[in-house]
């Protein structure tokens, strides 16, 4: 089965320079605590695309990042591209096409509009790969986070 597996998450704001981890700053959380807090605040979704059938799968978090409740819509390439910011759509399409053709990792930073029209900055990372089903030839798959 050809698939794309990927995760999509909101890019956090750029952190300000921080002091060496050896010197904790009074009143600040330790680095690990800050990282854990950021992970809770930054939704991370996953997706897969079966390239042979064109079927997409989204995690519950990916539905929510796009402003939908899980299962509210059927994810498709067209739906995904519709949500991309017009200025970022060509670059995002190129990343998808690259993932479909190759087995190399990919990433793409771009903006999306959720179902309510709110703009979000997202990062998609993933990798295309070949999958083999019993009795069939290898097929392309792409996945990401």
pLDDT tens, residue order, the chain (145 aa): 445 445 454 444 444 454 455 565 666 667 777 767 766 677 889 988 887 788 899 999 999 999 999 999 999 989 999 999 999 999 888 887 887 777 778 888 999 999 999 999 999 888 877 666 655 544 555 555 5
What pTM does this model have? 0.67
From residue 43, give the alpha-carbon distance in Å to each of 2, 15, 58, 132.
Answer: 26, 17, 13, 31
Name the residue with tokens 């605590």. Answer: 33
What is the rounded distance in angstroms from the CA atom of residue 84 to the CA atom of residue 79?
9
pLDDT at 64: 93
What local confidence, expressed as pLDDT, does residue 99 receive? 77
What's the pLDDT score for residue 83?
Answer: 94
From residue 36, alpha-carbon distances to 25, 33, 45, 138 in Å are 18, 5, 17, 39
Distance CA 142, CA 95 (A): 11
Q: What is the pLDDT of residue 24?
A: 59
Domain 3-11+41-144, CATH: 3.30.450.20
Beta bridge partner(s), residue 56:
49
| Closest by Cα among 40, 38, 8, 14 to 107 | 8
Decide if 60 contacts 44 (C-beta within 8 A): no
Q: 64 is written with which tokens?
A: 């929510």
Closest CA to 124 of 81, 87, 86: 81
pLDDT at 107: 86
Please report the pLDDT score of residue 138 as a whole number.
43
pLDDT of residue 1: 41
Look at residue 141 in the predicted model and tell me its pLDDT: 53
């Amino acid at each position: 089965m050809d698939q794309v597996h990927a995760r999509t998450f909101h890019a956090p704001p750029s952190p300000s320079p921080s002091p060496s981890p050896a010197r904790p700053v009074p009143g600040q959380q330790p680095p690990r605590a800050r990282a854990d807090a950021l992970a809770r605040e930054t939704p991370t979704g996953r997706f897969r695309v079966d390239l042979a059938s064109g079927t997409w799968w989204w995690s519950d978090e990916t539905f929510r990042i796009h402003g939908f409740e899980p299962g509210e819509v059927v994810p498709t390439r067209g739906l995904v591209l519709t949500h991309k910011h017009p200025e970022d759509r060509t670059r995002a399409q190129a990343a998808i096409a690259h993932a479909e053709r190759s087995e190399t990792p990919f990433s793409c930073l771009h903006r999306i509009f959720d179902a309510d029209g709110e703009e979000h900055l997202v990062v998609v990372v993933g990798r295309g790969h070949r999958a083999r089903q019993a009795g069939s030839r290898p097929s392309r798959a792409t996945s990401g986070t």
